[in-house]
A and B are shown apart, each in its own frame.
Chain A
Amino acid sequence: MSAVAETRIDDAERRRWRPWRGIGGLLLIVYGLISVYPFLWMVSGAFKDEREVLSSGSLIPQNPTLDTLSETWSKLDFGAYALNSVTVTGVSLLMILAIYPLAGYAFSVLRFPGRLPFYYMFVAIFFVPGVTTLLPLILVQSELGLLGSHLGLELAFANGAAPLGIMIFKTFYDTIPRELRESARMDGCSELGIHFRIYLPLAKPAVATVAVMCFVSVWNEYIVTGVSLSDPSRYTLPLGLQQLLSDNVVQWNQVMAGSLLVVLPVIVVFIVLRRFFISGIQGAVKG
Chain B
Amino acid sequence: MAEIAFEGVYKRYPDGTEAVRDLDLTVADGELMILVGPSGCGKSTALRMVAGLEQISDGQVRIGGRVVNRLAPKQRDLAMVFQNYALYPHMTVAENMGFALKMARRPKAEIAQKASAAAAVLDLADHLERKPANLSGGQRQRVAMGRAIVREPAAFLMDEPLSNLDAKLRVQMRAEVARIQQRFDTTTIYVTHDQVEAMTLGDRVAVMRHGVLQQVDTPQALYHRPDNMFVAGFIGSPAMTFVQGRLEGEELVLPFVRLPLDGARRAQVAAAGGAPVVGLRPHAFAEAAAVTPAARERGVLFTAPVGVVESLGSESYAYIAVEGRVDPELLRRHAGGAPISTPGEELLLNVRLDAETRLRVGDRAELWLDRGAVHLFDPRDGSRIVGDTTTEEQR
Interface string of B75-91 (1 = CB under 8 A from A): 00011101110101110
User: In this assembly, does B340 line the interface, its C-beta being within 8 Å of a C-beta of chain A?
Assistant: no
> Given A182-B53, A185-B73, A186-B80, A177–B86 Cβ distance below 8 Å?
yes
User: In this assembly, does B74 line the interface, its C-beta being within 8 Å of a C-beta of chain A?
Assistant: yes
Report chain B residues within 8 Å CB of A186. 51-53, 73-74, 78-80, 100
Interface string of A27-42 (1 = CB under 8 A from B): 0000000000000000
Question: A201 touching B82 by the CB < 8 A rule?
Answer: no
User: In this assembly, does B167 line the interface, its C-beta being within 8 Å of a C-beta of chain A?
Assistant: no
Partner of B74, one of A177, A179, A187, A201: A187
Please provide the chain B residues from 45 to 81 with a CB less than 8 Å away from any CB of chain A in the complex. Answer: 51-53, 72-74, 78-80
Report chain A residues within 8 Å CB of B100. 186-188
Report chain B residues within 8 Å CB of A179. 82-84, 86
> Given A179-B84, A182-B82, A193-B103, A188–B90 Cβ distance below 8 Å?
no
Question: B53 touching A180 by the CB < 8 A rule?
Answer: no
Q: How far is the CB of A182 from chain B (nearest CB, A)?
A: 5
Partner of B86, one of A182, A188, A193, A202: A182
Question: B74 touching A180 by the CB < 8 A rule?
Answer: no
Interface string of A183-212 (1 = CB under 8 A from B): 111111100010000100110000000000
Q: Which of A182, A185, A186, A189 has the most CB of B within 10 A?
A: A186
Question: B104 touching A180 by the CB < 8 A rule?
Answer: no
Bound-state CA distance A202–B131 (Å) is 13
User: In this assembly, does B319 line the interface, its C-beta being within 8 Å of a C-beta of chain A?
Assistant: no
Q: Write the chain A residue with the least CB distance to B90.
A: A201
Count residues on chain B whose CB falls below 8 Å from chain A CBs: 21
Q: How far is the CB of B4 from chain A (nearest CB, A)?
A: 15
Question: B84 touching A202 by the CB < 8 A rule?
Answer: no
Report chain A residues within 8 Å CB of B82. 179, 182-183
Q: Write the chain A residue with the least CB distance to B151.
A: A187
Bound-state CA distance A189–B105 (Å) is 12
Bound-state CA distance A202–B104 (Å) is 22
Bound-state CA distance A186–B104 (Å) is 11
Size range of the chain A interface in the assembly: 10 to 19
Partner of A183, one of B72, B80, B104: B80
Q: Write the chain A residue with the least CB distance to B81.
A: A183
Question: B88 touching A180 by the CB < 8 A rule?
Answer: yes
Q: How far is the CB of B85 from chain A (nearest CB, A)?
A: 8
Report chain A residues within 8 Å CB of B53. 182, 185-186
Q: How far is the CB of A38 from chain B (nearest CB, A)?
A: 42
Report chain B residues within 8 Å CB of A183. 80, 82, 86, 88
Q: How far is the CB of A205 from chain B (nearest CB, A)?
A: 12
Q: Write the chain B residue with the least CB distance to A182.
A: B53
Bound-state CA distance A187–B52 (Å) is 12
Report chain A residues within 8 Å CB of B104. 188
Q: How far is the CB of A112 from chain B (nearest CB, A)?
A: 15
Question: B84 touching A187 by the CB < 8 A rule?
Answer: no
Q: Write the chain A residue with the least CB distance to B144.
A: A183
Please provide the chain A residues from 118 to 171 with a CB less than 8 Å away from any CB of chain B in the complex. Answer: none
Question: B78 touching A202 by the CB < 8 A rule?
Answer: no
Report chain A residues within 8 Å CB of B79. 186
Question: B103 touching A198 by the CB < 8 A rule?
Answer: no
Q: How far is the CB of A175 from chain B (nearest CB, A)?
A: 12
Report chain B residues within 8 Å CB of A185. 52-53, 72-74
Report chain A residues within 8 Å CB of B80. 182-183, 186
Please provide the chain A residues from 13 to 61 with a CB less than 8 Å away from any CB of chain B in the complex. Answer: none
> Given A186-B74, A186-B78, A177–B84 Cβ distance below 8 Å?
yes
Q: Write the chain A residue with the least CB distance to B72.
A: A185
Report chain A residues within 8 Å CB of B89. 202
Bound-state CA distance A184–B147 (Å) is 11
Please provide the chain B residues from 364 to 391 with a CB less than 8 Å away from any CB of chain A in the complex. Answer: none
Bound-state CA distance A186–B148 (Å) is 10
Question: A202 touching B90 by the CB < 8 A rule?
Answer: yes
Bound-state CA distance A198–B52 (Å) is 20
Please provide the chain B residues from 271 to 303 with a CB less than 8 Å away from any CB of chain A in the complex. Answer: none
Q: How far is the CB of A22 from chain B (nearest CB, A)?
A: 42
Report chain B residues within 8 Å CB of A182. 51, 53, 73, 80, 82, 86
Bound-state CA distance A189–B80 (Å) is 14
Bound-state CA distance A189–B73 (Å) is 10
Q: How far is the CB of B271 from chain A (nearest CB, A)?
A: 50
Question: B90 touching A187 by the CB < 8 A rule?
Answer: no
Question: B86 touching A180 by the CB < 8 A rule?
Answer: yes
Bound-state CA distance A202–B90 (Å) is 7
Bound-state CA distance A189–B147 (Å) is 15
Q: How far is the CB of B205 from chain A (nearest CB, A)?
A: 25
Q: How far is the CB of A140 from chain B (nearest CB, A)?
A: 40
Q: Write the chain A residue with the least CB distance to B100.
A: A187
Question: 5 shortest A-B CB distances, which residue pairs?
Answer: A188-B103, A179-B86, A188-B74, A183-B86, A187-B100
- Can you list 20 A-B pairs, Cβ within 8 angstroms, ordered by A? A179-B82, A179-B83, A180-B86, A180-B88, A182-B53, A183-B80, A184-B88, A185-B74, A186-B53, A186-B73, A186-B79, A186-B100, A187-B99, A187-B147, A188-B104, A189-B74, A189-B103, A198-B88, A201-B90, A202-B89
Having A182-B80, A183-B80, A187-B103, one finds 9 other A-B pairs with CB under 8 Å, namely: A177-B84, A185-B52, A186-B51, A188-B74, A188-B103, A188-B104, A189-B103, A202-B89, A202-B90
- Residues in B lying within 8 Å of A, measured CB to CB: 51-53, 72-74, 78-80, 82-84, 86, 88-90, 99-100, 103-104, 147
